[in-house]
Amino acid sequence: MPHFWEGLLTTLQILALGSLISFSLGLVWALAFRAPTRFVRWPVGIVTEFIRNTPLVVQLFFLFFVLPEWGIQFSALTTGIVAIGLHYSTYTAQVYRAGIEAVPAGQWEAATALSLPYRRTWTAVILPQAIRRVVPALGNYVIAMLKDTPLLSAISVLELLQRARLQAAETFQYTEALTVVGIAFILIAYPSSLLLRALERRLVH
């Protein structure tokens, strides 16, 4: 059981920090897409398309094995968190982008009529409305990140599934170990979905 709890805490840590990176960086990408110069938009578009269209496990291997050759090295856990956050930031960027584009044109016009500064227009008018609209989609990606955490075992991160496999290898009780892992994922995912639905209802009203 100590192995199980250690794996569970590692998985939750990956999920929490990976979500934070993906939500924050995704918003940066989305704002960059709206930059007035194409010299910003085009490189951002190329980078995000490349990340979104390559497998997460390839990105894990690149960050873990290639970056050290350039003098950049992190622990396996840190690499996994960065990789999963970076990967999903390209998806959340599109969610934010859709939310921003869904804000009625009248809101932009009202901000202009009130002579609001550019930054104030974004922070007080546009982003609050855009984020309110995209909470359900962002929540879906939290669940997707949770399901992808076992991939981090490819770079030796001892998350929940890997801990269970090691435990099962010692006891030869694979059925029990993997059943517990499945239940644990459900117990994390289902309350998370309920929390996100409650947050969505609160933001809508």
Higher pLDDT, 145 or 177: 145
Kindly report, residue by residue over 70-105, the tens digit of the pLDDT: 998 899 999 999 999 999 999 999 999 988 888 887
DSSP structure string for the chain: -HHHHHHHHHHHHHHHHHHHHHHHHHHHHHHHHT-SSHHHHHHHHHHHHHHHTS-HHHHHHIIIIIGGGGT----HHHHHHHHHHHHHHHHHHHHHHHHHHTS-HHHHHHHHHTT--HHHIIIIIIHHHHHHHHHHHHHHHHHHHHHHGGGGGGGT---HHHHHHHHHHHH--HHHHHHHHHHHHHHHHHHHHHHHHHHHHHHH-
Tens digit of pLDDT for each residue in 20-72? Answer: 999 999 999 999 998 888 888 899 999 999 999 999 999 999 999 999 999 98
pLDDT > 70 in the chain, percent: 96
